[in-house]
Amino acid sequence: MTRKLSISEARSRLPELAHRVARSPGAVEYIEHRDLDETLALTTKSHLEYLEATVKELRKKVAVPFTLAGSLAAGADDAALEAALDAMREEQAALADTKLGELAG
C-alpha cells in the first residue's frame, strides 16, 4: 500500500519505513514536505536502477524511426521520384498500347 507521510512522521519512523520498503520489491513511500513543491519518494536502490534501465530501453525504442515492414527508402528528393514515376507510367502506357495493338491486330 502506498501512502503519503509528512516529513516529520517519516523522520520519526525512518527505520520502520526503510524495512518496509526493503522487504517489498517495488514499494514506494511518498513523503511530503510543506516547503517543497515536489513529493519525495523512498524506494530501494535496485528498484530505482530497474526503473532507470526500463526508461533507457524505452528511449532506445523511441529513438529508432518507425519503418513500416516492406517500406523502402530512396536517396532522391520528391521531384526526382515524381519524374521517375512519370517515366515509368509513360513506359507502362506504351507497353499497354503495344499489347492492345497486338491483340486487336
Percent of the chain surpassing pLDDT 70: 90
Average confidence (pLDDT) over 75-89:
89
Question: Would you call 37 helix, strand, or coil by DSSP?
Answer: coil
- pLDDT of res. 3: 75
**Is the model's pLDDT at 1 over the cut of 60?**
no
Across the range 87-98, mean pLDDT stands at 92
pLDDT band with cut points at 50, 70 and 90 for residue 55: very high
Name the 3-class secondary structure at 41.
Answer: strand
Q: Name the band, by pLDDT with cuts 50, 70 and 90, for residue 62.
A: confident
Band (pLDDT 50/70/90 cuts) for residue 78 is: confident
Start-to-end CA span in the chain (Å): 85
Confidence bin at 77 (pLDDT 50/70/90): confident
The amino acid sitting at 50 is Y
Find the mean pLDDT for residues 60-76: 72
